[in-house]
Amino acid sequence: MRSQPNNKMTATSTSSYDATTLEAAQSNLATLQSQLPARPALTPKQRQALATVGDKNLAFVSQAVELCVSNPEILPRAIDVAETTSKAEAHANLLRLEARIEQTLETVRDVRIQFGSELYAVCLTVYELAGRPLLGAGMKTGRATLERRFKKTKGTSPETPTPEPAS
């Protein structure tokens, strides 16, 4: 029988991710989404066509906004200094929010991957046990169903049911 990988997380850590906790997190996300003003969704092509404020030009934008504020008399009337300042503040706030959301998303992905790895290792053990002789018909039927996952297809070798250890 294959031993389970020595993962940093244990099955007991799933208690922090029970249905009630995850439902509360879902509710909090819904609240966050409702608090953000609706905006039209951009297509990938539209995103690509837009000028963006990234790491390389963030300082430029910040300095240009400061110039707007300190020298409004040189600007064309079409440039609203208050609106420009407001957009700069909103952009900075959205960057901070985006960073927090990305950190949270990375944590969710890491935990999901870790739990998935542990789950897969347990399921492979069940698969191996179901193949042992002298088991009931239900286990043999279950094994036959599980075998489809590793069935050899024409021109390929069968997948080996070996979990990759989680890092």
pLDDT tens-digit profile of 127-142? 888 877 767 777 777 8
pLDDT for 165: 55
pLDDT for 151: 77
pLDDT of 10 over the 60 cut: no
Cβ density class 76-88: b for 16+ within 10 Å, e for less: eeeeeeeebeeeb
Which of 13-22, 105-114, 145-154 shows the lowest per-residue confidence on average (mean pLDDT)? 145-154
Q: Flag whether 82 is in a domain.
A: yes
Over the Cα atoms of the chain, what is R_g? Answer: 27
Q: Flag whether 107 is in a domain.
A: yes
Q: How far apart are CA 118 and CA 160, in angstroms?
A: 17
Cβ density class 28-45: b for 16+ within 10 Å, e for less: eeeeeeeeeeeeeeeeee
pLDDT of 167 over the 60 cut: no
Q: Flag whether 87 is in a domain.
A: yes
Q: Flag whether 161 is in a domain.
A: no
The arithmetic mean of pLDDT across residues 151-158, rounded, is: 63
pLDDT for 11: 45
Domain count, the chain: 1
Q: Flag whether 96 is in a domain.
A: yes
Whole-prediction pTM? 0.70
CB 2 within 8 A of CB 165: no
